[in-house]
Amino acid sequence: MPSLKEVKTKIQGVKKTSQITKAMNMVAAAKLRGAQEKMEAFRPYTQKFNEAMSNLSGGATTDQFPLMEKREVKSVELVAVTSDRGLCGSYNANIIKLALKKAKAYEDEGKKVTFVCVGKKGFQALNKTGKVRKKYTDIMASFQMFNAREVATDLADNFLKGNSDKVEILYGEFRSVAVQVPTFSAFLPVQPVEAAGQEKTKKISGDYIYEPSTEEIMDVLQPLYLNVIVYQAMLEVGASEHAARMTAMDNATSACKDIVANLTIVYNKARQAAVTNELMDIVGGAEALK
């Protein structure tokens, strides 16, 4: 049985850890409110932008807009958007797992795979594969639209140079405080309206007159569209990270309380045993004096 001093030291250490995890939980909760409000405020903008792009791209051709060109897929680029910091449970691990799973599936089909990492945790894990083309770290804590523009511009330039034939973006979609789902979406080539949606698009098109021409508008909107997609993913990751960290720290605090309770029982047993031994020594000494 451990000594009283050892058990007491462990209890004090766990209590200090509990104070840290509780403080981190409170900080994450405060940051989550701001991140969630920002993300939810941007979602309608992203949705309307998607509708506008669907409407405009209905009659577009790849000759007019190279970013819409569908080529034979020989090279795939996967953009993994993770957090820069850890201590958020399995959140980052789930995105990394999804990225590796998709990479293996494409490689099994004979396609070349490269990674672009947005966030330090994704880079630290995926860099071991030797397939990371570019990384963006230490930007998630205070990311802005210009960060998204930098990422989107690089991805578009690489696609136009023919270095990648398909680009997918992987991130954690925020569903609720308790649920963040690893997901992915097509990024490049920019997808025009599918045949199934053409009737709806024609109906919407009748309500709008575009000035200047559709082509001129698309020239401006396509880069903005890519910026919006990346920025929305970064907003989702920001909210998901804080939610996952809040949950993880809450679980850690609860675990600390359980450990302290168990150690307290051990401490009381050790103290009782020590008192019993002292009493036995006293009784034994008294008997020896008789």
Catalytic annotation present for 256: no
d(CA 232, CA 139): 15
Is the omega angle on the peptide bond into residue 212 within 30 degrees of 0, that is, cis?
yes
Residue 121: band (very low, low, confident or very high) from pLDDT cuts 50, 70, 90: very high
At residue 5 the predicted structure's pLDDT band, cuts being 50, 70 and 90, is: confident
CA 141 to CA 160: how far, in whole Å? 30
- Single out the catalytic residue among 88, 167, 188, 235: 88
pLDDT for 208: 66
- pLDDT number for residue 62: 61
Residue 48 — very low, low, confident or very high, per pLDDT cuts 50/70/90?
confident
Radius of gyration of the chain (CA): 28
Helix then strand then coil, in percent of the chain rounded to 5, is: 65, 15, 20
Better pLDDT: 269 or 120: 120
Work out the percent of the chain whose per-residue pLDDT is above 70. Answer: 90
pLDDT of residue 55: 78
The answer, yes or no, to whether residue 66 has pLDDT greater than 70, is: yes
Q: Exposed, middle or buried, 172 (CB in 10 Å: 0-12/13-18/19+)?
A: buried
Report the distance separating Cα 9 and Cα 202, nearest Å.
73
Q: What's the pLDDT score for residue 196?
A: 34
Task: Specify the pTM.
Answer: 0.82
For the ranges 49-53, 169-173, 213-217, 234-238, the lowest mean pLDDT is seen at 213-217
**Digit-coded pLDDT (tens) for 99-115:** 999 999 999 999 999 99
For range 231-259, the mean pLDDT: 94
At 267, list the tokens.
Answer: 């401490």
What pLDDT, in 10s, does the model give residues 142-170?
788 888 999 999 999 999 999 999 999 99
Higher pLDDT among residues 58 and 202, named by residue: 58
Q: What is the pLDDT of residues 172-225, one digit of tens each?
A: 999 999 899 999 999 999 875 443 344 444 444 456 677 777 778 888 888 899
pLDDT of residue 142: 79
Domains of the chain by range and CATH? 41-246 (3.40.1380.10)
